[in-house]
Structure 1
Amino acid sequence: MSIAEERIDILFDLAKERTSAGEFDRSREYIRLARRISERNRCGLPREFKRFTCKQCDVALRPGVNARVRLNNGHVVVRCDCGATQRYPYE
């Protein structure tokens, strides 16, 4: 694991903590910084990071705090408070 990947994991953990505390602006900063590190170092983002961050408002998603998670016809539907919706298949 490279230094960039470790840093992205640390920033994602910090973003989740800030979202749970209700500090969405701080969470946004951590997510944006992690994405910039990923782009600069040409390393991909982990699946958990992609699925639990809002692509529209750049905040870490926490079910019950700022996101709704529903199951619908073989898909997991995650809806952020900003209105963005993401769907993922499951079996």
Structure 2
Amino acid sequence: MSIAADRIQRLHDLAQEAARDGDDDRAREYVRLARRLAERNRLRLPREFRRSTCDACDAYLIPGRNARVRTRDGHVVVTCDCGQQSRYPYE
């Protein structure tokens, strides 16, 4: 793994920890840093990271607190507090 990929993983862990502690602004900053780092180094963000963050407001999503999760026919719909929806398939 590259240094950038390791740092992105570390920022993901920090964002998760900050969001669970209730510090949403700090979690959002960690998410922004990780996105910028991936962009600069032409890396794809890990699937877990992409599915647990909002593309519109960069919030770290925690179901029940700032995200709503619903299942539909063959896909999951995650709705952020800002109104942004993301969908991904499941079997």
Superposition TM-score, scaled by structure 1 size: 0.94
TM-align CA RMSD? 0.9
Q: Which residue of structure 1 aligns with residue 37 of structure 2? A: 37
Any idea what the Cα deviations from partners look like across 1:37-59, whole Å, max 9, x if unmatched? 10111111111111111001101
Rounded to whole Å, the distance in 2 between the matches of 1:14 and 1:65 is 18
The runs of 4+ residues in structure 1 deviating greater than 3 Å are none
User: AA paired with 1:18?
Assistant: A
Gaps of 5+ in 1: none
User: AA paired with 1:57?
Assistant: C
User: AA paired with 1:49?
Assistant: F
Q: How many residues align?
A: 91
Q: Whose relative contact order is higher, 1 or 2, with alpha carbons under 8 Å and at least 6 apart?
A: 1
Percent of pairs identical after alignment?
Answer: 64
